[in-house]
Amino acid sequence: MFLNSQKALLKSDGTRLDDRLPSHVRPAFLKTGAVSVAAGSAYAEFGSTKVIVSVYGPRESKKAQAFSDIGRLNCDVKFTSFATPLRGKAGQDVSDKEFSVLLHKALEDAVDLHSFPKTTVDVFALVLQSGGGDLPAIITCASLALADAGIVMHDIVAAISLSCVGKDLLLDPTYKEESQQDGSVFIALMTSRREITQVTFTGEWSSTKASEALELCCDACVKLGEVMRVCLKEDAAEATEDT
């Protein structure tokens, strides 16, 4: 059974079911300015994973919150009910809250909270289709949305995940690969300064395999960061031509 499941993910020539090499990421489509009423927004597709993020603010904090000399970053992640193969129920469940906490941790080191004292920046992420690697797609898209909103940031954050299946390390896994993985690692990286803002390991990892996985993820994040910068520049130039 184990051999069958392993063979089902890799073909005889070493490529994956979608003809990718184990170290290749899925094709990405990134676009800012997807939501007109938001201060900043972005839409991202990674293979069959589709995410849209809106940023509102800086705006007034709610009265229940205490005074803060620095700004506040609120993150909220939701899945649409049609996002997963099994129909999800409305509202936030446990994994949505966990994703919100992880998104906040990944972004708060990159955002300069001192640039908007006493106010709040709200980040709303909506997963339209869950096709594997959801959290990295959310973080990448949220970073683009914050930059689109003009929030002062130290760096943009690129995120990627990797699945361990037997002896193979599969970068940017699909839903099917994620469901058969032995372990996984997800990393969020400030690409220019090469600082990690978030890393999470699940499953069993040896130290050599873990460091090899981290190297793979960091390299992929740096390349993804370059794609993100090109997207931001082109959308900024396009917005200038419109006005």
Partner 1 sequence: MSANEYRTPGEVLGWASEYVAGPGTYVWHEKVYASVVGLLRLTPAATDVEDQRPTIEVTREKERGAVPEPGTVVTAKITKLFPRQAAASIVCVGPRAVRDKFTGIIRQQDVRATEIDKVDMHTSFRPGDIVRAEVISLGDSRAYYLSTAKNELGVVSATSDAGAAMVPVSWQEMQCPITGQREPRKVAKVI
x-or-dash pattern for partner 1, window 48-67, by CB under 8 A?
A: --------xxxxxx-x-xxx
215: phi then psi, degrees, rounded to nearest 5:
-60, -45
**Closest CB 53 distance from partner 1, rounded Å:** 16
Residue number, 21 or 236, with CB nearest to partner 1: 236
C-alpha distance from residue 166 to each of 120, 163, 169, 174, 184 (Å)? 45, 10, 8, 16, 12
Peptide bond into 58 cis (omega under 30): yes
Identify the DSSP state of 225: H
Q: Should residue 236 be labelled a site residue for partner 1 when binding is judged by CB under 8 A?
A: yes
Terminal Cα-to-Cα distance of the chain (whole angstroms): 60
**Residues 22, 73, 131, 148: which binds partner 1 (CB under 8 A)?**
148
DSSP H/E element including 3: helix 2-9
**Closest CB 44 distance from partner 1, rounded Å:** 16
**Residues 9, 35, 39, 160: which binds partner 1 (CB under 8 A)?**
39
Determine the 3-state secondary structure of 192 from DSSP. coil
Q: Should residue 22 be labelled a site residue for partner 1 when binding is judged by CB under 8 A?
A: no
Tokens found for residue 187: 């990393």
Determine the 3-state secondary structure of 148 from DSSP. helix
Residue number, 34 or 39, with CB nearest to partner 1: 39
Residue number, 27 or 150, with CB nearest to partner 1: 150
**Closest CB 173 distance from partner 1, rounded Å:** 27
Q: Rg of the chain over CA atoms, in angstroms?
A: 18
Number of residues that bind partner 1 (CB under 8 A): 46
**Closest CB 106 distance from partner 1, rounded Å:** 15
Q: Should residue 70 be labelled a site residue for partner 1 when binding is judged by CB under 8 A?
A: no
CA distance 191 to 43: 20
Q: Should residue 178 be labelled a site residue for partner 1 when binding is judged by CB under 8 A?
A: no
Binders of partner 1 among residues 105 to 134 (CB under 8 A) are 110, 112, 116-119
34 within 8 A of 50, measured Cβ to Cβ: no
Return the number of other C-beta atoms located less than 10 Å from residue 149's C-beta: 21
**Binding footprint of partner 1 on the chain (CB under 8 A):** 39, 56-61, 63, 65-69, 110, 112, 116-119, 147-156, 190-193, 225, 228-230, 232-234, 236-237, 239-241, 243
